[in-house]
Amino acid sequence: MNTGTLSAALAFLCWGLFPLYFHAIGDVPPLQILAHRMVWSLLFLVIVLAVRRQWAWLNIVRKPRVFASFVASAILLSLNWLIYIWAVNNGHVIEASLGYFITPLVNIMFGSVLLKERLRRAQWMAIGVAALGVAWLTWQAGNVPWIALALAVTFGGYGLLRKTAALGALEGLAFETMILFPLAAAYVAWLTAHGQNAFINTGSTTTRLLLVAAGPITAIPLLLFAAGARKIPLSVVGLLQYLAPTLQFLLGVWLFHEAFTPDRLVGFVLIWLALALYAAEGLLNRPQPIAKQA
């Protein structure tokens, strides 16, 4: 369990530091970053799969229902990536972190509405408190926090589809990037033909290396998470997942110096309270291990 906890924590640590990466390539347009992320991620994942000789799953994705579900999850994943990249590079790291704070509560809502899962009273209370937080942020800002909500809904929808997917984390991501690859490659080719490919036009070797690094930067945290999640209870995973948005939030406040007024803090406190209620309820209601008889 210790190695599982370490692996999962490292995965969330990597995701929490993502703003540093995207900020470092902030001169590249978000859509180009997304396209390069798809291209280099697929190359890296194919190398990993080749080393592991892990190709049997290709027979599964030929089924129409499986293929359609991964097309949908690939679209949601690409939208989530694009919104997040745009948010980081346009000074909205704090609001992006809010989206991932809200995601667990969106997952609860999806489970109730779409999977007909019965919610306990404390879970309804957590959703209600979070809704108050979002309503407060909307009122004091004069507009809906659309970045946070869009990230939460797209990632929550992605998680819902992957929950019942026929493939594991590595194979699923590989197939999703395979689906997106033709569009990404065509867009990169179009940019190259029109002299707008940042990978070619940039005078910075560092920028080129960072774009290529999108492959391992995308895949390695996922592999760490997949390895860790198999060894630790779901309740521990649920608590560790708040590490990523917490780091993103701290980076937004302390490193990128984004505005964070006391009025805005009230909304975040309400959402953090909802998450604390949700986490405490999950710990109190987790299945107890059956004692072995002597």
Asked if 275 contacts 102 with a C-beta cutoff of 8 angstroms, the reply is no
pTM reported for the whole predicted model: 0.85
Which residue in 28, 19, 14, 37 sits closest to 206, CA to CA? Answer: 28
- What is the mean pLDDT of the segment spanning 29-36? 93
- What is the mean pLDDT of the segment spanning 229-242? 70
Look at residue 290 and tell me whether its pLDDT is greater than 90: no
Look at residue 87 and tell me whether its pLDDT is greater than 90: yes
Which stretch of 64-73, 138-147, 183-192 has the lowest confidence by average pLDDT?
Answer: 138-147
User: Which one of 56-60, 127-131, 137-141, 290-294 scores highest in mean pLDDT?
Assistant: 56-60
Asked if 256 contacts 18 with a C-beta cutoff of 8 angstroms, the reply is no
Asked if 46 contacts 174 with a C-beta cutoff of 8 angstroms, the reply is yes
Asked if 101 contacts 149 with a C-beta cutoff of 8 angstroms, the reply is no
Confidence category of residue 122, pLDDT binned at 50, 70, 90: confident
Q: How many CB atoms lie within 10 A of CB 163?
A: 11
Residue by residue, DSSP assigns 176-204 as HHHHHHHHHHHHHHHHHHTT--HHHH-S-
Q: How far is 230 from 1, CA to CA, in rounded Å?
A: 9
94 lies in a domain? yes
CA 76 to chain centroid = 11
Q: How far is 3 from 9, CA to CA, in rounded Å?
A: 10
- Phi-psi category of 290—alpha, beta or left, where left has phi over 0 and alpha has psi -120 to 50? beta
Which stretch of 90-99, 153-162, 193-202 has the lowest confidence by average pLDDT?
Answer: 153-162
Number of domains in the chain: 1
Quickly list H helices, 90-145: 93-113, 121-141
Confidence category of residue 289, pLDDT binned at 50, 70, 90: low
- What is the mean pLDDT of the segment spanning 28-39? 92
120 lies in a domain? no
Query: Which DSSP letter does residue 232 get?
Result: S
Residue that is written with structure tokens 């998680």 in the block: 159
Determine the 3-state secondary structure of 44 from DSSP: helix
* Angle (CA) 129 76 52, round 5°: 115
Which stretch of 69-73, 104-108, 172-176, 232-236 has the lowest confidence by average pLDDT?
Answer: 232-236
> Considering the chain, what percentage of its residues have pLDDT values greater than 70?
92
84 lies in a domain? yes
Which stretch of 97-106, 230-239, 247-256 has the lowest confidence by average pLDDT?
Answer: 230-239
How many Cα atoms occupy the beta-carbon half-sphere of 99 within 13 Å?
26
- What is the mean pLDDT of the segment spanning 256-262? 87
- What is the mean pLDDT of the segment spanning 124-140? 85
Look at residue 293 and tell me whether its pLDDT is greater than 50: no
Q: What's the confidence (pLDDT) of residue 187?
A: 95
Confidence category of residue 230, pLDDT binned at 50, 70, 90: low
- What is the mean pLDDT of the segment spanning 110-139? 82
Q: How many CB atoms lie within 10 A of CB 107?
A: 18
Look at residue 291 and tell me whether its pLDDT is greater than 50: no
175 lies in a domain? yes
Give the tokens for residue 14.
Answer: 């990597």
Q: How far is 13 from 271, CA to CA, in rounded Å?
A: 21
Which residue in 32, 23, 148 sits closest to 88, CA to CA? Answer: 23
Give the tokens for residue 224.
Answer: 């760490």
- Phi–psi pair at 290, nearest 5 degrees: -80, 125
Look at residue 183 and tell me whether its pLDDT is greater than 80: yes
Range of the domain at 195: 2-114+144-284
Q: What's the confidence (pLDDT) of residue 213?
A: 94
128 lies in a domain? no
291 lies in a domain? no
Q: What's the confidence (pLDDT) of residue 204?
A: 86
292 lies in a domain? no
- Phi-psi category of 279—alpha, beta or left, where left has phi over 0 and alpha has psi -120 to 50? alpha
Kindly give the interhelix angle for 30-52 and 169-193, rounded to the nearest 10 degrees.
130
In tens, the pLDDT along 40-73 reads 999 999 998 999 888 988 888 888 988 999 999 9
> Between 236 and 13, where is the model more confident?
13
237 lies in a domain? yes
End-to-end CA distance of the chain: 24
